[in-house]
Amino acid sequence: MNIPQKNEALLLEKAKKGDKQAFNLMVIKYQPRIMSVLYGFLKIHSDAEDLTQQTFIKAWTNLEKFRGDSSFYTWIYRIAINLAKNFVKKPSTQIEKTSLSIDEHHYDLPEDLDPLSFISNEELKSDLDNFISSMPEKLKTAFILREYEGKSYEEIATVTNCPVGTVRSRIFRAREEIVNYFKKEVYETE
């Protein structure tokens, strides 16, 4: 059957059976949000980065305990907050990088755009808003309905009177344009 499933639930099932790549797919989408929250607490890039890694490692090692009562994001968010609270209360505490690692080595986070350099830049929100305003109307509408209004592809298809596949393609193209904009305009002017 070609019916969209709750992607996270399917991945969780695999991850609980030890599929690390399924777990990676689950957590990496939240990496910038977790880093942003931790940076808000700690105000130090390296600490935010280290605690983000520790959050993911702790989530992996405790995955059996996640029962799905809350969303997966809420669960890892709480892990991150608790780590940050403990870290702030006892700043001398060393972050355990080795003993908690998934494969007995550092947890590698994907690198392309550097999340921390973006998260700590307060001006980017208005840059993003300005760029979205300048995008082609169809891409802009699909992206805003998804990203800001939280509409499903099917709902967007109904509103914009086009096939779901077209909506999916427009949202993807909008995201690519934004990523390319940040790569060219922001990185190259730094």
| Binds other proteins by CB under 8 A, chosen from 106, 134, 172, 187 | 172
Residue 67 vs 125, nearer CB to other proteins: 125
Q: Is 108 exposed, middle or buried (0-12, 13-18, 19+ CB in 10 A)?
A: exposed
Quote the crossing angle between the two packed helices 20-28 and 7-16, to the nearest 10°. 140
∠ CA 86-120-137, rounded to 5°:
130
Nearest to 34 by CA among 42, 105, 95: 42
Nearest to 54 by CA among 26, 31, 29: 31
Question: Distance between CA 11 and CA 89 in Å, rounded?
Answer: 35
Residue 69 vs 112, nearer CB to other proteins: 112
Query: Which window, 14-22, 55-63, 98-106, 133-141, contacts other proteins (CB under 8 A)?
Result: 14-22
Least distance from C-beta 15 to other proteins, angstroms?
11
Q: By CB under 8 A, is residue 58 in contact with other proteins? A: no
Q: Scanning residues 103 to 132, which ones bind other proteins (CB under 8 A)?
A: 109-113, 115, 118-119, 122, 124-125, 128
Q: Is 115 exposed, middle or buried (0-12, 13-18, 19+ CB in 10 A)?
A: buried
Give residues in contact with other proteins (CB under 8 A).
2-8, 10-11, 14, 19, 21-22, 24-25, 28-33, 35-37, 39-41, 43, 77-78, 81, 84-85, 88-89, 91, 109-113, 115, 118-119, 122, 124-125, 128, 146-148, 152-153, 168-169, 171-172, 175-176, 178-179
